[in-house]
Amino acid sequence: MSDAPEKPARGDPTWVAPALTRDEQTRKVGKTPVFFGPPLAILTEGRNNTMEISGRLNLAAERYMEIMKRHGLELSEPERQCIAHICNIGFMSTLEIRELPFEVRMTAFECEGLDKPALAARLEAASFADLVAVVESLGF
């Protein structure tokens, strides 16, 4: 006889489903209240029921996640630190993201190995999707 406690079986109220990897996870069961600010209101305009709205939001999220996979820039650690310093204000609006090259040139931030003019030039040459992916990769 084992001293280990028995694991609860499916159907038992204390049973917890095994953790899924990110690839295995396809949905989260349940509803989450969401504030519909202007971007979401515009995105879902003309949709009248929950399924249509949910479908539109999930489609936009799926496309966004694919953009994040396929875009971005390879950055050195000093470049990441510089952009993180600029983004550290928290929320980055689309206008602020577009102004990253300008902000890199203007920032007082310095660290060893950082070439601000070269970084600013790379950011200027990048697409908006690349800039968004960079900001997202830094958690902003």
Residue 30 in this model has a pLDDT that exceeds 80: no
Burial class (CB in 10 A: 0-12, 13-18, 19+), 104: buried
Q: Over the stretch 42-56, which tens digit does the pLDDT of each residue have? A: 999 998 888 899 899
pLDDT value of position 10: 59
pLDDT value of position 103: 96
DSSP 63-116: HHHHHHHH------HHHHHHHHHHHTTS---HHHHHTHHHHHHH-----TT--H
pLDDT value of position 3: 60
CA angle 13, 17, 22 (to 5 degrees): 150
Judge contact between 57 and 44, C-beta under 8 A: yes
pLDDT value of position 91: 81
pTM: 0.72
Q: Over the stretch 58-116, which tens digit does the pLDDT of each residue have? A: 999 999 999 999 999 999 999 999 999 999 867 889 999 999 999 999 999 999 999 99
Residue 122, Ramachandran bin (φ over 0: left; ψ between -120 and 50: alpha; else beta): alpha
Residue 24 in this model has a pLDDT that exceeds 70: no
Sign of torsion, CA 103 140 37 49? positive
Long-range contacts of 46-50 (CB under 8 A, 24+ apart): none
